[in-house]
Amino acid sequence: MTLIREQMASGAEPAATAAERHRHVPLSRLVRVVVVAAVVAFLLVEHTFWEPDTLLLVLVVGGAVLGLTLQMLVRFAPFMGALIVFDWMRGWADKINTSIHFLPQLDVDKWLFHGTVPTVWLQQHLWRGHVSWYDFVFLGLYLMHFLMPVIVSLVLWRWRPKFFWPFEWAIVGTTLAGIVTYAIYPAAPPWMAAQDNLLGGPFVRISGAVAQAMGVHNFSALDNTVSPNNVAAVPSLHAAFPLIAAVFLVLAFGWRRAGWTMIYPLTMWLGVVYMGEHYVFDVILGVVYALVGCWASLRLYERWQRRAPHPNALTAVRSRLAAAASRLRPGNAA
């Protein structure tokens, strides 16, 4: 008792209380992990795919559970808001310009590959007449279009915060550029051209076959959910987002530690062409948009950093304001 009284008198925390508090820390963390896992499991069981509004819900719940709601909102609300606006706007971008282009991107692919359509060639060599393991991989990456940028944002926020804002600006800027292009140039993807027998060879809608193998029988509803605008194909943001993610991870962690992440965009590029979701031309243009977005966001961030007040200057201003306020108090008026 004497020891406890001495600790309380000195302002130190009693040993028993400290030990009890530390015993509750692992339990508290476990509860937080269980809550977030339960939300994710519910979304998966209900076949809710990772659209921007769903991701925002997960981030808000995760932030509340982890006690980081305000930080989550400050950092991710503008980012997720832009993706939600994109998801909404791309649904009517094709209504602004109803002249859908079928042949230019197809002709470019034929020119690049000496008369061969890459989608048809890939399906002739990779499609076995039934769903294979790599078909699940390709569609899985395709459906993680909105999820992966959020994961990369969280990684950068936690371990390389100076790259957080440039990465988000690159994603948002590339997205806005894509929306403008979709309105100006609505373009039919290979699967839509195949419906008019324009590919010059056999074609299978592999994403539909994989979805059916996953137990999703109403594929048209899923397709409308994931891609509300079927002619938002040029450029391919499915090609752009993975490259932006890999570029910033390499910049943040170095080529030796993060160079392997380039597997992600390379696999995505192969998958979207193989499944008939994009032409090679769409992918190339998506790569160009991504690289320009990365360059522009880094340059803008550098300029913003140069114009932002230095932390030492802010500290000096605060100190002067605090000193002035203390002098104005009645007790210090003399």
Q: What is the DSSP string of 209-223?
A: HHHHHTT---HHHHH
| pLDDT at residue 307 tops 50 | yes
Whole-number average pLDDT of the chain: 80
User: Which stretch of DSSP H or E encloses residue 251?
Assistant: helix 237-253
Question: Nearest 5°: phi and psi at 101?
Answer: -95, 120
**Which string of b and e fits 312-332 if b means at least 16 CB within 10 Å?**
eeeeeeeeeeeeeeeeeeeee
What the block records as the tokens of 143 is 């459906």
State the pLDDT at residue 99.
Answer: 87
State the pLDDT at residue 30.
Answer: 65
Classify residue 116 as exposed, middle or buried by CB count within 10 Å of its CB (0-12, 13-18, 19+): middle
Average pLDDT of the segment spanning 194-216 = 90
Q: How far apart are CA 105 and CA 145, in angstroms?
A: 22
State the pLDDT at residue 179.
Answer: 86
State the pLDDT at residue 8.
Answer: 47
pLDDT tens digits along 104-161: 999 999 999 999 999 999 999 999 999 999 999 999 999 888 888 888 998 998 899 9
Q: Determine the Cα angle at 114 with ends 113 and 116, to 5°.
A: 65
What's the chain's length in residues? Answer: 334
CA terminus-to-terminus distance, the chain: 48
Residue 45 pLDDT grade (very low, low, confident, very high; cuts 50, 70, 90): low
